[in-house]
Structure 1
Amino acid sequence: MATHAIHLELVSKYDTDAFLAALARFTSRRGKPAVIYSDNGLNFQGANKELKLEFQGSLKHAQSKDFELIREIKWKFIPVATPHWGGLWESGVRSVKHHLKRILGTFLPTFEEMTTLICRIEAYLNSRPLSRLRDDIESLECLTPGHFLVGRALLAPPEMSVLELKESTLNRWQKITRITELFWQKWSGEYQQSLQSRPKWQIKNNDFREGDIVIIKTPNAPPCKWNLGRIIRLIIGSDSVARVAVVQTANKQIQRSLTQLCRLPA
């Protein structure tokens, strides 16, 4: 809830048993949550009842020294018919479904292929920069949701792009790779656009400052690769408005229009 990290699980059904299996996989990899927030789906209501029964049963058979190890998961449901109360997780779900449904088209992945696909998408979403990682002004490291999950930024293994190949010549794995590449292009572009404020040029409202860490828009960047830089100088025009900045990257200094830069929160 604080880091906006996203965990995706593929299930074959919407019932209580399928959700409990997904929750078991989640807790095995991420740890047991203290609180679960959700809407009032029947599968969630049923899972809550099952967990309460299991908790009561474990208390009956536990010894006094084990009580502190047994902690009930608290379940908090949002009011009925108020999906906007769950806007935090609904926005994460939308980030996936909006693009994925359009990219998949008529392609029907197997359960294993779909599991692989959503795991890669999960890594992409959790690689997004949130803010500066260190107070050192020279550092270009940024905090990501991945830091809270694995202790460091998430990286994708290097792969050859298949976007330029004819789709009819691709094998099954290459098609999955192509889908993930298309998803990365569309979602990363949308995320960067959400970081940009777009006031009218008549309004002198410039959020950029020297020392800011920015994402440099790069259309063909590989998955999980965010081109970061630090603004070292703003170039002021004759009308006293800055529209260009000199940016220090890891390797060199470049000039970019402010429309090609996305400022990260401090």
Structure 2
Amino acid sequence: MAYVLRFINICKKQRPPTQFLTNEELENSLIVLIKLSQIESFNEYNILLQNKRLPAKNQLLKFNPFLDNNKVMRVGGRLDNSLFSYEKKHPILLQSTHHLTKILFKYMHVKLLHAGPRLLLTSIRETYWAIGGLNLAKRTYRNCHLCCRFKGKVVNPIMGNLPQRRVTASGYPFETVGIDYAGPITSASRQGRGCKLVKVYIIVFVCFATKAMHIELVGDLTSNNFLSALRRFMSRRGKPKHIYSDNGTSFVGASNEIGRFIKNCNNSLPGDLAPEGIDFHFLPPHAPHFGGLWEAGVKSVKFHLKRILGNCNLTYEELNTVLVQIEAVLNSRPLTPLSADPSDLLPLTPGHFLIGRPLTALPTDCYEQHVTGTLSRYQHLEQLRQHFWRRWSKEYISELQLRTKWRSDLNPLQEGVLVILKEDNLPPLKWRLGRVVAVHPGADGVSRVADVRTATGVVRRAFGKICPLPQDDI
């Protein structure tokens, strides 16, 4: 605008004082832009220009607006007797929906080193008074690409429905299990002085239906040790039909060694377990919240383990004993809320489902409606076990109905959206930039996984690791 005004002056045979723009020329161009903005934004400008009074119910009456010597509309206010500057006492009136106001807020946001909404609005009000300025300041901060990178706000689709295997009464516990690693933790090679500290790892098995837990201790991250721990689990708990596990580096609290181990076993483990009649399933990469059931189990194990161990280092046998005791405590936790009525039954726990069934037991008839006195000891135990499953379907399943978070799906990702991929081990400015090329809806029609094209190729990520960038500048 300053160059336009200089061109007009040159056409009027007025030579510019210098080759570069002066401060006076820049101020004059800003006044012209402000006047144009006020003419387009306020019908009251023409009323004031004609020296008329505003209508009685006009929204600008509270500002007591007036036109200064440059025909710029300013706030009258009540600060005439103060010692502040003229711009502070009578700021220029602007409308927040006008484009000039938007680019002014964006300019000040960058000038103030990407200040937050409150600081941005406070600084602007030293000279300008934008109607609806707080909302514009928030929107300017929210749509800044650099600020979006540092906030790292990901997309959270509506919480999905529970898998069928979590809400179906199976014949026995651990028919479908989720597995997660925890560690490493240090263990002493022997008691007494001169002992060496070695790394050991914990494998947590969680039953889908009953939340029963089984904990195994392994010495290192090899497929042989994992298969040995799995065989120990099957020998004591029975053979599962389906095993679910995280994929790659998505293990919570795991080291890079665990990530490399699971990544290398993605092809070998399903092949090793296929002859056993077990189906091995991996979750999408970098999506630990997809396995929230066993992630919560690992958190519970760590909760007790930290309080028991403290700073001491136990031997392998002592640590295994502690983990078995933690397993017993976790399998005694109630699955349903406790009742204040003393006549109510004991709360249902995972331990109720871990008794009364041999590992090689065959399917039995239903004894729920039989009289207890007419049953044999074995049939009586089967009746108790079936009673627990009936209580499970009536009491526990109803507690799974509500969505505790992610209750709505307001901003789903669409194809073509510009995004950044959140990486836990990198600073925000190092996160990869990409564009969504495909989304994959689930069984309920809600998309939670997308394919993103980056500079190094197309990768698949869950929405929990995707941060969409603003689509417009303001």
Q: Specify the TM-score bucket, using the shorter chain as the normaliser.
A: 0.3 to 0.5
User: Looking at CA atoms only, which structure, 1 or 2, has the larger radius of gyration?
Assistant: 2
TM-score by length of 2: 0.26
TM-score (norm 1): 0.45
Structure with higher RCO (Cα < 8 A, 6+ apart): 1
